[in-house]
């Protein structure tokens, strides 16, 4: 099974960026100085690569290799552009999934597994504030990660605007919605937004979304694990679209 690969050293990471490798995240040494280090920082910002500044002890956990104050992880998959993905699925009843604040690798892996089972057309992740694509993600997805196209964007709001510009309805799942998912008609292409169970979807995204729905729930519970909620939503969309298609 293909897993993420770590690379060490400023020059090695610079070369990976030049070669347009899919870099999942970069860890940089706090307080590091030097012209080459600052050049790497500039490239990371230009490319919108997720990164964080950490103490030397954190970097040394990766390996005893000479890291020069920088370690990067290359994702086990290649991300695609959202524009290309939308164009590829033009004319289909496509299902897209946008994940806001899903930081647990096993939740992400479980979502990928369900997404592959349903056959959705793509998952959109933010560059920052999202679970890494690592061996845990790959394992939990049971190979689903290699079946579903993945997109990374700087801001999910921009992705919503792009979907709307292409006449794809955007739908947010929120417990504050009036309608349940079972009352919504999923006849056309849809971009579904799911948030974490503790924070939910950002208010800015809720304002931009075309509609909101909730999952019906008893008074004893107010939320579901996000991977379970995704499963319920994706299968409801799949059920409706297949019923409509088979009865035309």
Domain match, 70 and 91 both: no
Domain match, 68 and 92 both: no
Range of lowest pLDDT (15-19, 88-92, 185-189, 191-195): 15-19
Q: How far apart are CA 205 and CA 85, in angstroms?
A: 21
Domain span at residue 39 reads 5-74
> Tell me, what's the pLDDT at 232?
96
Phi-psi region of 169 (alpha: psi -120 to 50; beta: other; left: phi over 0): beta
> Tell me, what's the pLDDT at 23?
86
When pLDDT is averaged across residues 139-162 and rounded to a whole number, the result is 92
> Tell me, what's the pLDDT at 67?
83
The residue from 41, 74, 107 where one domain ends is 74
- Whether pLDDT at 183 is above 80: yes
> Tell me, what's the pLDDT at 179?
92
For 79-113, letters b (16+ CB in 10 Å) and e give: beebeebbeebeeebbbbbbbbbbebbebbbbbbb
Q: Is the dihedral of CA 29, 35, 41, 44 positive or negative?
A: negative
CB 95 within 8 A of CB 238: yes
Query: What's the token pair of residue 61?
Result: 């956990």
When pLDDT is averaged across residues 123-152 and rounded to a whole number, the result is 88
Domain match, 134 and 169 both: yes
The number of distinct structural domains making up the chain is 2
Domain match, 174 and 99 both: yes
When pLDDT is averaged across residues 30-45 and rounded to a whole number, the result is 92
The residue from 74, 103, 122 where one domain ends is 74
- Whether pLDDT at 194 is above 90: yes
Domain match, 42 and 154 both: no
When pLDDT is averaged across residues 109-132 and rounded to a whole number, the result is 94
> Tell me, what's the pLDDT at 247?
53
Q: For residue 241, what pLDDT band results from cuts at 50, 70 and 90?
A: confident
Q: pTM above 0.85?
A: no
* pLDDT one-digit tens code per residue, 159-179: 999 999 999 999 999 988 999
> Tell me, what's the pLDDT at 4?
65
The residue from 27, 56, 74 where one domain ends is 74
* pLDDT one-digit tens code per residue, 66-100: 788 999 988 778 889 999 999 999 988 999 999 99
């Amino acid at each position: 099974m293909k897993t993420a690969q770590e690379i060490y050293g400023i020059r090695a990471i610079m070369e990976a960026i030049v070669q347009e490798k899919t870099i999942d995240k970069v860890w940089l040494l706090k307080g590091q100085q030097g012209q080459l280090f600052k050049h790497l920082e500039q490239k990371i910002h230009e490319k919108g690569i997720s990164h964080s500044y950490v103490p030397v002890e954190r970097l040394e956990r990766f390996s005893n290799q000479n890291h020069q104050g920088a370690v990067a992880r290359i994702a086990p998959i290649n991300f695609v552009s959202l524009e290309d993905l939308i164009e590829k699925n033009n004319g289909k009843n496509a299902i897209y999934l946008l994940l806001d604040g899903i930081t647990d690798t096993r939740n992400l892996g479980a979502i990928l597994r369900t997404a592959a089972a349903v056959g959705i057309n793509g998952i959109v992740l933010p560059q920052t504030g999202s679970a890494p694509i690592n061996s845990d993600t790959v394992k939990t997805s049971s190979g689903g990660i290699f079946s579903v196209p993945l997109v990374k964007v700087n801001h999910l709001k921009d992705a919503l605007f792009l979907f709307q510009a292409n006449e794809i309805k955007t739908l947010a799942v929120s417990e504050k919605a009036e309608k349940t998912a079972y009352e919504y008609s999923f006849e056309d292409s849809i971009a579904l937004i799911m948030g974490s169970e503790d924070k939910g979807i950002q208010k800015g995204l809720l304002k931009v979304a075309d509609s909101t729905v909730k999952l019906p729930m008893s008074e004893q519970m107010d939320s579901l694990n996000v991977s379970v909620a995704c499963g319920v939503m994706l299968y409801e969309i799949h059920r409706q679209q297949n019923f409509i298609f088979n009865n035309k």
